[in-house]
Amino acid sequence: MTKTQSEAQKVLVAGATGTVGREVVAELLARGARVRALTRNPAKADFPAEVEVVRGDLGDPASLAPALEGVEAVHLIVFGGEEYAPLTTGPELLAQAAKAGVRRVTVLHGGGPSPLEDVVRSNELGLEWTVLMPVEFMSNALFWADDIKANGRIEEPFVDRVSSMVHEGDIGAVAAVALLSRDGSHHGKEHVITGPAALTLRDKVRILGAARGAEIGLVELTEEQAVERMRAQYMPQETIDFMLEMYGNTPVEGRTVAPTVPDVTGRPARTFEEWAAEHAGAFRA
Ligand SMILES: NC(=O)c1ccc[n+]([C@@H]2O[C@H](COP(=O)([O-])OP(=O)(O)OC[C@H]3O[C@@H](n4cnc5c(N)ncnc54)[C@H](OP(=O)(O)O)[C@@H]3O)[C@@H](O)[C@H]2O)c1
């Protein structure tokens, strides 16, 4: 992809204020694309000046008309609103995107059934599509920041489980390449996106400790203790079951290193050591 090729392209990014979306925006900008960021609340959005911020709600496809105007490619999420509820308006908003002249989409897979993803995969609308299937995000480690700052330790079950977790920037990079690809080479692809190593929880804690300059303790919880804690946090049973399945019985993709990042982006996948160095401040009291 040359700069001139990508400069002509305008890309709409949904979920642009989120963990993955903001990385998609950054990677598109780095490749010279013109970026339009979708948000329900432009006042809250904080982007570089060259990003065009537009208001729109994926749950209300009519609100997306201005956002879709003149756009060649769209990055989509499969949820809308609270608790990552699957977006029920997916088919409608995709039809609207196709009608507005959108040529290709990337979809951030959410792990469950999605009416939006079903339509995309069916090829009904003639859109080129790429489904992004990242494994566990490295940024999930930020959930531990308060405990680490307050107590210098975390309490978790399944400490020997292995995860090939991925840097969010690499999800953004794979998305950007697919969104800007005009030769059809990413059409119909499901990209499993992982980091460069499969690490245990013990490895992660050691790496985070080294990055923040102070060792972090790891207390192993039994599965029963972990469930009790999640219940005390009012986590819905469905989410508890999902967490136990993901962590207690991580699917093979989630614990295997895939070559997608280097293959698609031409760069090595970013390591957890790099992620930890970038976020070390979040783990220091
Ligand atoms: N965490 C993991 O390890 C992991 C692994 C694999 C896959 N995933 C999947 O990744 C997804 C979460 O991505 P993320 O962490 O980047 O999300 P996030 O940080 O929670 O961000 C959510 C984004 O969605 C936007 N949004 C929500 N409802 C919307 C609506 N109705 N209309 C327009 N925008 C809306 C929000 O925008 P505004 O508030 O600005 O409107 C925000 O930018 C989920 O599908 C999850 O299943 C997560």
| 3-134: CATH class | alpha beta
pLDDT tens for each residue of 143-190 = 999 999 999 999 999 999 999 999 999 999 999 999 999 999 999 999
Whole-model pTM? 0.96
Are 11 and 35 spatial neighbours (Cβ–Cβ below 8 Å)? yes
Are 72 and 104 spatial neighbours (Cβ–Cβ below 8 Å)? yes
Architecture of domain 136-165+195-255+268-285: 3-Layer(aba) Sandwich (3.40)
- The confidence score (pLDDT) of residue 6 equals 46
- The confidence score (pLDDT) of residue 8 equals 63
Ligand 1 atom 38, closest CA: 39
Domain boundaries, the chain: 3-134, 136-165+195-255+268-285
Ligand 1 residue neighbourhood (C-beta within 6 Å): 14-21, 38-41, 57-59, 77-81, 84, 108, 110-111, 134, 136-137, 140
Residue 134 alpha carbon to ligand 1 centre in Å = 13
In angstroms, the CA 227 to CA 237 distance is 9
Using the atom order of ligand 1, give the atom closest to the CA of residue 137.
3
3-134 against 136-165+195-255+268-285: fold identical? yes
pLDDT tens for each residue of 60-118 = 999 999 999 999 999 999 999 888 889 999 999 999 999 999 999 999 999 889 999 99
The torsion angles phi and psi of 131, rounded to 5 degrees, stand at: -100, 130
- What is the identity of the amino acid at 3? K
Question: Which of 157-161, 233-237, 246-250 has the least mean pLDDT?
Answer: 246-250
